[in-house]
Amino acid sequence: MKKMWQAAARMGVGAGVALVAMAGIANARSTTNRPASIVVWPKIVVDTSARWLVAPTDTRLMLSSTNASGIKQAHCFYINATGHCSNDGAGCRDATDCGGRGECVPSWNETDFDVVLTQEQPLAWYASDGLARGQFPLEGPFRCNAPFVNLQCFSDAQCPNNVGCNTGQSNLGSAIPPVPEDPFIGALVCIQFTGGSQSVPDQTATRDKLYGDATILTGLNPARYNAVGLEATGNPVSNGQLVLADGGNYASCPGVLILSHMFDGAVDPITNNVAIQYISDLTLVPCSNDFSTQTPGRSVAQFLVFNEFEQRFSTSRTVDCLFHATQLSRIDTRNPARSIFSAGVAGTLGGQTRIRGVGGVSPLGSGLLGVAQANFPTGTLSSAAYDLHQQGNGRSDLMILP
């Protein structure tokens, strides 16, 4: 008996040492390079009638599985952050979209859907259209099992003698709705589930198999960025509450987001053409969301701005569901020429802005994710989207599933 206890103790020591080693490695962080279990697209824009932008705009979303064998399911949430003008109810991003005749009243709601991805499958859709049944690549018809392999089927019931329908891997069960309105601005969050009849948030050995990107196409101008991924830790999720923190279910959100940019209004030094001025826009979304009660994450973004003289400025704004600054120089003032993001104020072309989320509504956290877009308003709009850099780990965030 004593020997049994000793043996168990030794085994425990071995396992404990190994687990400690693993814990160090499992200290994951968010990423825009690697596959992950939660994938967030912070910015989706649809404006097919060019109401907001200079040309019709749509967003192409790509979601891929890197799983080498077997299907993976993604449970996704469109977050609609389109506001509506108080005067005519038209969709708006801010008051400038209401033509100066009304306020932009913010609103928030989510629409969720499932996507089933087969092994190594890339899947893409346009946000204005979605993908309906019949538009997915692998939906059948399939073949019955032997000896009725010449019969087509979609389900077991369609095959004689209970031989079953050989559906293999397919996209059956998937349906992607179009975004709920046009024009639209919002975000998309997809969470990897295990698939199958008892599908749960995936914390198995084959977790972290999803990645994505988005291309915002305005007229002929594409702006592309990688979706932000949050890796799973392997800790099972309970009560539909996804804890994004060290020791939680998923990697924590970044402590600081870093945006490198040209200051707004900087004139291109080569052409010296005042018509070519750098302008950047910024979109931030909270890491936390309560999809169960439709309560959006809320935090305060603190901006710390450095110019090339190492001089520092700061400001802050509330991020309520989604924050979109059509130009950086409108973050701190309604007069862009007087903004700390203006080249006329900063005095240099290049700048660095460090963004930290603070506050937050309990029990949700205050972490932020984001994407920037550099715009060069020449004859036609030209722009490029890019991912923000990140530093450190944020505090705990929470996503609550319905």
Partner 1 sequence: MRALYRSWLLGIGMLCVFAGAAGSQAQQTRSGTDRPGSILMFPKVVRTGQRDTIVQITNTGNSINWVHCFYLSAPDGSGYCGAVDFELVLTRQQPTQWRVSQGRRVDPTDSFGSAGAGFDPGLIPPVPPGFQGALVCVEVDANGDPRGQNRLKGEVTIMDDNTGDVSKYNAFAVAAVSQSLSNPLALDGSEYETCPGSLTLNFSPRGSLDPVIEDLGNANLNSFIATNLTLLSCNLDLAAGVRSNGTVSYIVYDEFESPFSGSFPHQCWTTIDLGNTPQTTGQFRSTLLTGGAIATIFAQAQLTLPTGLVGVAESFHIDQAGVTGSAASNLHTGGARSAAIRLP
Interface residues for partner 1 in 258-277 (CB under 8 A)? 258, 260, 262, 266-267, 269-271, 276
* Buried/exposed code over 321-331 (b: 16+ C-beta within 10 A; e: otherwise): bbbbbbbbbbb
The token pair that represents 129 in the structure block: 């259209």
Three-state DSSP class for residue 388: coil
> Residue from 70, 106, 344, 359 that binds partner 1 (CB under 8 A)?
344
Q: Pattern 137-166, binding to partner 1, x per CB under 8 A?
A: xx----------------------------
| Size of residue set near partner 1 by CB under 8 A | 92
Query: Is 85 or 266 the residue whose CB approaches partner 1 more closely?
Result: 266
Q: Does 384 bind partner 1 (CB under 8 A)?
A: yes
Residue 374 and residue 35: Cα distance in Å, rounded?
26
Q: Does 338 bind partner 1 (CB under 8 A)?
A: no
> Residue from 54, 99, 101, 120 that binds partner 1 (CB under 8 A)?
120
Query: Is 32 or 252 the residue whose CB approaches partner 1 more closely?
Result: 32
> Residue from 15, 54, 105, 149 that binds partner 1 (CB under 8 A)?
15
CB of 343 to partner 1, least distance (A): 6
> Residue from 1, 3, 162, 293 that binds partner 1 (CB under 8 A)?
3
Alpha carbon of residue 294 to chain centroid: 17
Q: Does 348 bind partner 1 (CB under 8 A)?
A: yes
Residue 197 and residue 205: Cα distance in Å, rounded?
19
Q: Which of 55, 35, 88 is nearest to 251 (CA)?
A: 35
Full DSSP string of 126-185: ETTT-B-TT-SSS---EEEPTT-TTSEESSGGGSGGG--EE--S--TT--BPPPSSSSEE
CB-based contacts of 95, cutoff 8 Å, min separation 6: 102, 103, 104
Q: Does 90 bind partner 1 (CB under 8 A)?
A: no
Q: Does 352 bind partner 1 (CB under 8 A)?
A: yes
> Residue from 51, 143, 317, 389 that binds partner 1 (CB under 8 A)?
389
Contact (Cβ atoms closer than 8 angstroms) between residue 95 and residue 325: no
Residues 58-77 that bind partner 1 (CB under 8 A): 58, 60, 62, 64, 66
The CA distances from residue 293 to 108, 183, 402, in Å, are: 12, 25, 8
Q: Which stretch binds partner 1 (CB under 8 A): 118-126, 142-150, 294-302, 327-335?
A: 118-126
Residues 210-269 that bind partner 1 (CB under 8 A): 211, 213, 215, 217, 219-226, 258, 260, 262, 266-267, 269
Q: Which of 248, 252, 234, 130 is nearest to 179 (CA)?
A: 130
C-beta atoms surrounding 235 within 10 Å: 13
Query: Is 312 or 338 the residue whose CB approaches partner 1 more closely?
Result: 312
CB of 72 to partner 1, least distance (A): 13
